[in-house]
Amino acid sequence: MHTSRLRIAVQKNGRLREDSLRLLEDAGISFRSGKDQLKSPSTNFPLEVIFLRDDDIPQYVEDGVADVGIVGENTVAEKRKQNRPVKKLGFAQCRLSIAIPRGTTYEGTSWLEGKNIATSYPTIVREFLKQRKINAGIHEISGSVEIAPGIGLADAIADLVSSGSTLQSNGLQEVEHIMSSEAVLIAGPRPPVNGTQDILDQLLFRIDAVNSARNNKYILLNCPNVAIDQITSIIPGMKSPTIMPLARTGWSSLHSVVNENDFWNKIDQLKAAGAEGILVIPIEKMIA
């Protein structure tokens, strides 16, 4: 039995909060809800959530005030604290890009020479420019970066982009992709103490089960027995599909698992191979 708890830092308000808490809940870790709390101990797992601004999470994790934290890779790269990325979490995907006014001819990074770039990511942008031997001014602003060119504050911006609609509605075009980012679980520089490594291992095991389930679907279909081999090669599943005879002679029901990413492609192949009555069902947890 552990008396210790793993302290995990989660964004207090913002884009990461809901998905971070949902991941923990899907991993079977429950909390008493309450939005204004600074700390929330789990009621059924030796873990405590500490709610912080995302910018502060790398420092708190470095200092050991939190054992682990959930932040964007962009924040980890910007803050440059002693953080170890432990696991990518598959949400909050975005990219940090440079954008300039639409209609401007851009012939490469040399366009940026001598220009002013507004950004909330000065460290990452400075490094990007240094590697390309470009001299440009960096104007650090903390929010609404996309309006900077329009009000004459900067020639270009470097900001996070997901759908691209913010750039679009501010008359900007994306010209350089600096980095891709998603939410990541980070740990501090020192090895965890008092049994928290065991708790972290259990948490990571559960996160894997949740994320594999999210990325896969359970699939059931009917097929003529002559098509079983071909269909098995299309959807081999975790070990191999389950095959059960149908009451109708010469036909079987085949059950397997299919990855979300090539799902539609597989469905087309299955139909071509003679599959009928295809059912696709979400999986709640998946343990290999």
Binding site for Zn ion (CB under 5 A): 54-55
Nearer to ligand PRT, 26 or 55 (CB): 55
Shortest spacing between CB 56 and ligand PRT, in angstroms: 8
Which class for 13: exposed (0-12), middle (13-18), buried (19 or more C-beta within 10 A)?
A: exposed
Q: Which does 159 bind (CB under 5 to 8 A by kind): Zn ion, ligand PRT, none?
A: ligand PRT
What DSSP state is assigned to residue 162? Answer: S
CB contact at 8 A, 240 and 228: no
Shortest spacing between CB 51 and ligand PRT, in angstroms: 10
Q: Which residue is nearest to ligand PRT (CB)?
A: 72
Q: Which residue has tokens 């002559």?
A: 226
Distance CA 99, CA 172 (A): 6
Q: How far is the CB of 219 from Zn ion (least distance, A)?
A: 40
Supply the minimum distance, in Å, between the C-beta of residue 73 and ligand PRT: 7
Residue placing its CB nearer to Zn ion in the complex, 54 or 176? 54
Query: 40 or 216, CB closer to ligand PRT?
Result: 40
Mutual angle of helices 17-26 and 196-215, in 10-degree steps: 100
The region, left, alpha or beta by phi > 0 then psi within -120 to 50, assigned to residue 128 is: alpha
Residues that bind ligand PRT (CB under 6 A): 11, 13-16, 53-55, 72, 74-75, 92, 94, 159-166, 181
Q: List the single partner that 72 binds among ligand PRT, Zn ion, none, CB under 5 to 8 Å by kind.
A: ligand PRT
Pick 75 or 196: Cβ nearer ligand PRT: 75
Least distance between ligand PRT and beta carbon 173 (Å): 13
Name the residue nearer to Zn ion (CB basis): 65 or 134: 65
Nearer to Zn ion, 185 or 258 (CB): 185
Q: Which two tokens stand for residue 127?
A: 């490094």
Q: What tokens does 43 get?
A: 């009621």
Distances (CA, A) of 213 to 23, 70, 283: 12, 20, 5
Hey, what are 125's tokens?
């942008």
Instruction: Answer whether 174's CB lies under 8 Å from 97's CB.
Output: yes
CB of 71 to ligand PRT, least distance (A): 7
CA–CA distance, 51 with 71 (Å, rounded to integer): 12
187 binds, among ligand PRT, Zn ion, none (CB under 5 to 8 A by kind): none
15 binds, among Zn ion, ligand PRT, none (CB under 5 to 8 A by kind): ligand PRT
